[in-house]
Structure 1
Amino acid sequence: MSQISNAIATRDSGPAAQIETYRSEYAALVPSHVNADQWIRLAVGAIRGNKDLEQAAANDVGVFLRELKTAARLGLEPGTEQFYLTPRKKGGRKVIQGIVGYQGIVELIYRAGAASTVIVESVRANDTFRYVPGRDDRPVHEIDWFGPDRGPLVGVYAYAVMKDGAVSKVVVLNRQRVMEIKAKSDSKNSEYSPWNTNEESMWLKSCVRQLAKWVPTSAEYMREQLRAQAEVSGELPAPPPMPQPVNGLDEADPDDEGPIDAEFVDEEAGR
């Protein structure tokens, strides 16, 4: 019986149990449209279902919980293509790194309420792709869905149709441009990086991040940021503090080129 009790105690002190410990804080952080209980179940399931992630999270629980706070404030699902949880070596050991996926950025665009449709597509060598800036309001992309092979990736494109019917700037990236973005990624050489485990998704993310410079992202996320600042200033009661990271990590997404938490992430885009 004592061995069983010890096993339960060990299990309950792990990263998944820490999520439960701070359940109320995460519930307060997620946007109002997100089901907090479901979000927490996803976070717990992502860790308990992957031994590598569980060990990396246990190596520095403070880093792990901080990454989850980012996902919570953004209202993105941890452990999915909205918000990847990946092991990353830091100081000779693996810790958890959160990376916003392309589906997460698309979700933020939709959540802002200005766009009715967001198109993000990859183009392969055997597809037909036509787009002339200044002449065409959007690309023409034809795919032979029943052909034997679409060929290798050659590019990606993204645009949004706004609720008033207008079409946003169309972003088109070729392979060279995507590779330039990949070269800036801190995690590009990691076996766990989405660049190596889900390359096409990272091509799509590279493109939709550029689109996010031209369309609104989440207004509610900005309100959550202001709320967090108010908590720090003492205007609102703050929940109990989470454990702090042992080793500091850059809070920016290592596969990003800038923030995603603004109404317009590029000042020039709003001019």
Structure 2
Amino acid sequence: MSNQPPLAAADLQKTQQGNQVARTPEQTLVGFMNQPAMKSQLAAALPRHMTADRMIRIVTTEIRKTPALAQCDQSSFIGAVVQCSQLGLEPGGALGHAYLLPFGNGRAKSGQSNVQLIIGYRGMIDLARRSGQIVSLSARVVRAGDEFSFEYGLEENLIHRPGENEDAEITHVYAVARLKDGGTQFEVMTTGQVNKVKAQSKASGNGPWVTHWEEMAKKTVIRRLFKYLPVSIEMQKAVVLDEKAESDIDQDNASVLSAEYSVLDNAPGE
């Protein structure tokens, strides 16, 4: 896994010199992503189960789906793609692993909007699957009318029996992890607690918080649960990046603390 900084926007400008055919920002960015130097950098960052060509195809699709990405600061965009590559996650709504979203005006040195990497709850579970200390991980919502109770303390317990109304209002969201040593850890949040996290996010008014609230709520409670579990370096970096993205702090300044190596398996049905 490479720690090299993303290619600078100046490199992109150099590639445009001598090009007599006017190209759209989308064409320019896609062309830059396909250059050997960029492919080499992505290949060095990606884990073995992914290729640079596949990542570029996925990113190209995201640019076409969200043209505003091509108008953002190029270094910011490349940095977000490299971060996504280092985590081995595929951006876009197809898998719900991660999202590339434009944010703000003038935050980048170029005066353009920045691109932020937002990690989805399925991305969290996918990262968790690559460990060995956690047997299963699941996240679920609780709706009005469900039988639901939980208690913390010396004898922690959680009971959830879903009702028949799948359209009832969501009241809680929870995540449960079964550990390799036989233990179980869970975390519960109310919708009010989740919405407080949403309110602090730069993406509260657009992106997955608007289109996929339930998935973002699950991701939020999983992220909180991971603070009590043995997690991998990748997982800890993902949590740090995600918390930075939810706040108003640039992801470039995210720090990563040391942690144990572990991984999670997906729970059945997740």
Give TM-score, length-normalised by structure 1.
0.71
Match of 1:212 among 217, 223, 226: 226
Q: Distance in 2 between matches of 1:263 and 1:156?
A: 29
Question: Conserved in 2, the CA contact under 8 Å of 1:137 and 1:167?
Answer: no
SS in 2 for 1:105: helix
Q: Distance in 1 between matches of 2:34 and 2:233?
A: 28
Question: Conserved in 1, the CA contact under 8 Å of 2:26 and 2:70?
Answer: no
Q: Distance in 2 between matches of 1:256 and 1:103?
A: 23
Post-superposition offset of 1:83:
1.0
Cα distance change, pair 217–36 in 1 and its aligned pair in 2 (3 A): farther
Cα distance change, pair 198–96 in 1 and its aligned pair in 2 (3 A): same
Aligned residue number for residue 41 of structure 2: 25
Cα distance change, pair 221–115 in 1 and its aligned pair in 2 (3 A): closer
Q: Distance in 1 between matches of 2:248 and 2:128?
A: 16
Aligned residue number for residue 238 of structure 1: none
SS in 1 for 2:184: coil
Number of residue equivalences: 226
Cα distance change, pair 212–61 in 1 and its aligned pair in 2 (3 A): same
Aligned residue number for residue 139 of structure 2: 120
What is the RMSD computed on CA atoms of the aligned residues?
3.3
Residue identity matched to 1:115: I
SS in 2 for 1:139: strand
Aligned residue number for residue 12 of structure 2: none
- The answer to whether the aligner puts 1:65 opposite 2:84 as a matched pair is no
- The answer to whether the aligner puts 1:90 opposite 2:105 as a matched pair is yes
Aligned residue number for residue 235 of structure 1: none
Q: Distance in 1 between matches of 2:156 and 2:51?
A: 37
Q: Distance in 1 between matches of 2:225 and 2:198?
A: 17
Aligned residue number for residue 56 of structure 1: 69
Cα distance change, pair 143–42 in 1 and its aligned pair in 2 (3 A): same
In structure 2, stretches of 5+ residues that fail to align are 1-19, 261-270
- State how 1:1-271 maps to structure 2 within 5 Å: 6=21, 10=24, 13-21=27-35, 22-48=38-64, 50=65, 53-80=66-93, 81-91=96-106, 94-134=113-153, 137-144=156-163, 147-168=164-185, 170-188=186-204, 190=205, 192-219=206-233, 252-254=244-246, 262=257, 264=259
Q: Distance in 1 between matches of 2:177 and 2:255?
A: 16
Give TM-score, length-normalised by structure 2.
0.71
1:52-77: CA deviation from partner (whole Å, max 9, x where unpaired): x2333333211111111110111111
- Percent identity at matched positions? 31
Question: Conserved in 1, the CA contact under 8 Å of 2:63 and 2:69?
Answer: no
Cα distance change, pair 221–131 in 1 and its aligned pair in 2 (3 A): closer
Out of 252-261 and 116-125, give the one that drifted further: 252-261
In structure 1, stretches of 5+ residues that fail to align are 224-249, 266-271
Q: Distance in 2 between matches of 1:155 and 1:260?
A: 31
Cα distance change, pair 213–256 in 1 and its aligned pair in 2 (3 A): farther
Post-superposition offset of 1:193:
2.9
Q: Distance in 2 between matches of 1:142 and 1:221?
A: 30
Q: Distance in 2 between matches of 1:176 and 1:64?
A: 33
Residue identity matched to 2:244: A
